[in-house]
Amino acid sequence: MFLGAIIVGALVIYRLFHAKTKPLVSPAVNKILEKPFDKYSIGNLSKRSFSSQITLDDAVATTSAYIVYKFHFGSDHKKITGLAHIPNSCDAQNQCPTIVQFRGYVDVDNYQPGVGTRKSAEVFATNGFISLAPDFLGYGGSDNPSANVFEARFETYITALNLLAGVGSLPQVDANRVGIWGHSNGGQIALTVLEIMGNKGQRYPTVLWAPVSKPFPYSILYYTDEADDKGKALRKELAKFEQDYDVFSFDLTRYLNNISAPVQLHQGTADDAVPLKWSQDLVKSLQDLAKDITYYEYPGADHNLSGAWNLVVQRNIEFFHKHFAN
């Protein structure tokens, strides 16, 4: 009986001890925080595959040298439209080199297909190059982009990468001779694409006109003085974004070493949209990494390289001919 009392007492003490040390609230179940935008990091985009099927739609203009078509393709379940300039000499038997053109920022209310690319596309097509210029989401006849300002930006990379993956679906295209042309924000898209595809061993000879080349998110905060609210709404969204994401994983300046393609860069000294020093800094970074970079400055030329435009395009043509001949 004495032994039984000792056992009962021990059990009471055991329960009291554990009752005191037991957390008042049950431990929360460990959950992995879902980060849906991680898939857009440069590193993760380098790991995934891309594809599309390009369809030519109506012809909207015809000249003695080329035909201009509307086109569309699918990009991660969204429809993207664009404008194609195809030389009359290009067909399934005589496939032509192709330049995929990424324009700079255009206000959606002022946009028409071909804005920012049409003039150079006409010269490229006259010289035997196919030009494919996507409208991007929210423009032309394309589907709407994400409602999130940062995801909408990242979707431009997806659009560019899926388009490049699908150029060979056009019978007129020589899929072994594909290059990139990017102006302003389109230059930022082009650089990011080069980093993603360079990591996969894919080389696209690339021409850049006054590219936006500074780190994300400074590269967009720089332009917020043009917004009605001076960037207040964007900074608010950025604060939320940075709570969950490492901005460095979306920063093109961190991945320049991935670039394996030859690059030709053009910058006007009177550019009021992309500071001259941005391009000078980018060129130095690429040179320090022993990349194949050719750089031209144009005294007095503006953001659209007015005053030197014909020379710039001629140098572009020579650059593409050189690298497509190899």
What are the pLDDT digits (tens) for 157-202?
999 999 999 999 999 999 999 999 999 999 999 999 999 999 788 8
Over the stretch 272-295, which tens digit does the pLDDT of each residue have?
A: 999 999 999 999 999 999 999 999
Task: Give CA–CA dist 319/206, Å, rounded.
Answer: 9
Q: In sequence order, which residues have a C-beta less than 8 Å from that of residue 299 and are 6 or more positions away?
A: 269, 270
| 250 confidence band (pLDDT: 50, 70, 90) | very high
Check whether 8 has a pLDDT greater than 50. no
Question: Residue 130, Cα to own-chain centre: how many angstroms?
Answer: 21
Which CATH architecture best describes the domain 47-215+251-325?
Answer: 3-Layer(aba) Sandwich (3.40)
Segment (H or E) for 7: helix 2-21
Q: How many Cβ atoms from other residues are within 10 Å of residue 51's Cβ?
A: 13
Exposure on the CB side of residue 267, measured as CA atoms within 13 A? 22
* pLDDT tens-digit map of 98-154: 999 999 999 999 999 999 999 999 999 999 999 999 999 999 999 999 999 999 999
Residue whose token pair is 């894919």: 202
pTM to 2 decimal places: 0.89
Token duo for residue 236: 């608010």
So what's the pLDDT on residue 232?
92
The single residue listed with the structure tokens 């431990």 is 27
Q: Which two tokens stand for residue 194?
A: 């080069």
The pLDDT value recorded for residue 32 is: 55
Q: Give Cα separations from 295 to 90, 204, 213, 267, 326 (angstroms).
A: 31, 17, 14, 8, 21
